[in-house]
Structure 1
Amino acid sequence: MTNLLNIPDKFKKAPDEIDSIIGHDRLMEESDVSKLSYLQCIIFETLRLSTTVPLLLPHESSADCTTGEYMVPCGTIVLVNAWAIHMDPELWEDPKAFKLEPFEGGNGEKHQKLVLPFGLERRACPGAPLAQRVMGLTLGLLLQCFDWKRVSKEEIDMTKGKGVTMPKVVPFGINV
């Protein structure tokens, strides 16, 4: 919500999409989440930009393999730096900005595969599909049921702090 509140022009598109697809007669349901492509873009970009844990769980290679130009011997502990992938300027145009465009249209699926908050492939979190649906339903209902706006003209500070879970420097809701 904080990322959306900082870009009011894009923020308006989310409730508009919900209104056009679901209408005003009923509340959004879990089965509606997959129909809301703009809402999905918001979730993917939030997961990319606000990676909860920068390093994925460590894994041990079960066989010798080559990754890129690196030889990884059997038994090596491998750490994936998801934060570095999410902030790589070779993969993302202006990686520190909240941009939904990479996830829209034909290239959207390619960019979705670069977002790793739940791990990747057979080592991915088994609860990832449930988490995606719950996030979509929760965000969708918040957008459908409430009118949101910033309380001041200043953007909400999204600066990351130090720590394993990368908290914000200024917690949301605290005015300094």
Structure 2
Amino acid sequence: MRLFLCLKVMINLNPNEFAPYYVDYIKLVPEQDIVKGLTNQNEELIHFFTSIPVFKHEFRYEEGKWTVKDIILHLIDAERILSYRALRIARNDKTALPGFEENDYVVSARGNERDFESLLAEYKTVRKATISLFESFSKEVLQQLGLASNYSVSVRGIGYIILGHELHHKQIILERYL
């Protein structure tokens, strides 16, 4: 419970605004406006991705693990799904939203067959759409709750999950790929 209290103070989220398994992502996010965070992170991550040496793009630190290309495409897919959830909840859709199996998505996406530049272009496009979506949300809408993956989640909780998810994967790339 102490961690939730720290989170609440740090970024003003309540425990019912995200699933417990997202706490490790959310705690990576510094206190900030979601749109500002998405904008700053976009620039930072594009710079980070472009600094990764070409010979590391398809590197796996262990058999069966994702490559950097896989991770970028995973970030794109996850951001699309999370943004869609935010849209549904913001529009007061009370339908419980299902989860998704990220490993199945990565296998089906075939990221290593893609050109690195096309992945970065798609990442930029998706992030621009996410920023536009979150810019449209009022303070009241950001606090709306819905149900996703059998957990209560708020629109703003989803914004922080997107931010933290990307920071989590950047950290993994730094630790295990570079």
Q: Which of the pair is proportionally richer in helix?
A: 2
TM range (shorter): under 0.3
Q: What's the TM-score, normalizing by structure 2?
A: 0.27
Higher Cα radius of gyration: 1
Between 1 and 2, higher relative CO (CA 8 Å, sep ≥ 6) is seen in 2
Q: What's the TM-score, normalizing by structure 1?
A: 0.27
